[in-house]
Amino acid sequence: MMSTLNFAYGIYFKIMTDYEIARLRNPVCEEDVAVFKDLPEEVQKQIKVGSRVVSIPLDPTKVSMIFYKKQSYEPFAVPMGFPVLEDINFKAELRKIDMAICRTMQQIVLLVTAGAKPDEGGVNQKNLEALRKLFTNQSVGRVLIADYTTKAEFVVPAIADLLDPAKYEIVNQDINIGLNNVFAGGDKFANQQQKVELFVARLESGRKAFLYDFLLPEMKRIAKSVGLKNYPMPFFEPIELKDNTNSNKIYGRLMELGILTPEQGFKALETGKLPDPELMHEAQQDYKEKRDQGHYQPLVGGGKQQEEGRPEGSTGIPQATKNVGPIGSKASVEEPPEKYSVVRVKDNMLIAQALEREVIDQLKSVHGVKRLSKLQREVVSSITTLVMSNEEPSKWLETARAYCENPEDKNHARVSQVNKIAVAHQIDNYLASLLLASKVENG
**What does the mean pLDDT of the chain come to?**
76
Q: Which residue has the higher pLDDT, 317 or 282?
A: 282
Angle made by CA atoms 10, 11, 15, in degrees to the nearest 5: 130
Q: Which residue has the higher pLDDT, 186 or 24?
A: 24
Question: Which contiguous run of DSSP H or E holds residue 226?
Answer: none
Look at 167-171, 293-297, 365-369 and tell me which has the smallest mean pLDDT.
293-297
Backbone angles phi, psi at 439, to 5 degrees: -70, 140
Q: How far is CA 437 from CA 142, 194, 340, in A?
A: 18, 69, 9
Q: Which range scores top for mean pLDDT: 170-179, 200-209, 428-437?
A: 428-437
Provide mean pLDDT across the span 14-29.
89
pLDDT, position 329: 45
- Relative to beta strand 109-110, strand 154-155 is antiparallel
Identify the DSSP state of 11: B
Q: Which residue has the higher pLDDT, 85 or 277?
A: 85
Residue type for position 356: E
**381 touches 363 (CB < 8 A):** no
Report the C-alpha gap between 1 and 266 in whole angstroms: 52
pLDDT, position 7: 55
**Residue 32 predicted with pLDDT over 80:** yes
Q: Tell me: the pLDDT tens digits for 368-427?
A: 888 888 777 778 888 899 999 999 989 999 998 888 888 888 898 999 999 988 888 888
**Residue 282 predicted with pLDDT over 60:** yes
pLDDT, position 330: 46
pLDDT, position 193: 64
Report the C-alpha gap between 288 and 123 in whole angstroms: 90
Look at 56-70, 126-140, 197-211, 292-306 and tell me which has the smallest mean pLDDT.
292-306
Q: How far is CA 373 from CA 86, 213, 354, 369, 386, in A?
A: 74, 96, 20, 9, 20
Angle made by CA atoms 261, 264, 269, in degrees to the nearest 5: 120
